[in-house]
Amino acid sequence: MLNLSDLKKDLHKLANTKRKKILQNFFKTGPGQYGEGDVFLGVTVPQSRSIAKKYADLSLDDTKRLLNSKIHEERLVAILLLVHKYQNSEDKKPIVDYYLKNSKKINNWDLVDLSAPKILGNFLLDKNKSILYKLSKSKNLWERRISIISTHTFILNHRFSDTLKISEILLNDEHDLIHKAVGWMLREVGKKDEKILERFLKKHYKKMPRTMLRYAIEKFPEKKRKSYLNDLI
């Protein structure tokens, strides 16, 4: 039976020194950067997905141990396994509870984006969403990103109110990764209902960070997009 030790061996066999340097730069692992101290092997996401597929039957306990790793790709595989286990579990609440309890270990944007909508967003679709509002006010960058990215599942189900409310909470956030995340989710709202997005923008666009606005209006016709941007000059 395949175990955690086997998984790590298979993953480390895929290590690539050249790609490792590229990823450490891309995910901002330098002093003072958002991914400071994160350790990479240089394994691609498709390769990580293949490993997760191979070890889909890894126990939940071993998956939890993997999420505690200092190595980014090991945490990534753990996240992919958690998503798989959530989707294939009859009792999903223990996995959601674990996810929330260990949210600070989901500590880079790829880990958040690959898991928050599929676990937390899916679970909360027809439930009380107060935890998202709590996360949106967290001092932890990744918890704030989880709060907005989780709403992607709501958007796909034509439910926009929580995305808009959490976007308002995060309007004055200082971090670029939150600006991008909020702008992205607003853009997704616009894909489903452009009028709802425009109502939000007319109320807030002058005080939105420029990156957030650019992401939100990315799919607008060029003339309309420029009218928003030029109005800020």
**Residue 232 banded pLDDT, cuts 50, 70, 90:** low
Predicted confidence band at 231 (pLDDT cuts at 50, 70, 90)?
Answer: confident
pLDDT of 233: 53
- Taking CA atoms, 201 is separated from 144, 150, 167, 176, 191, in Å, by 21, 21, 11, 19, 14
Per-residue confidence band for 189, with pLDDT thresholds at 50, 70 and 90? very high
pTM greater than the 0.75 cutoff: yes
pLDDT per residue over 30-77, tens digit each?
Answer: 999 999 999 999 999 999 999 999 999 999 999 999 999 999 999 999
- CA gap 223, 76 in Å, rounded: 40
Query: How open is the CA angle 58-82-184, to the nearest 5 degrees?
Result: 150
Query: Where does the pLDDT of residue 230 fall: very low under 50, low under 70, confident under 90, or very high at 90 and above?
Result: confident
Over residues 100-149, the pLDDT tens digits come to 999 999 999 999 999 999 999 999 999 999 999 999 999 999 999 999 99
CA distance 39 to 13: 16
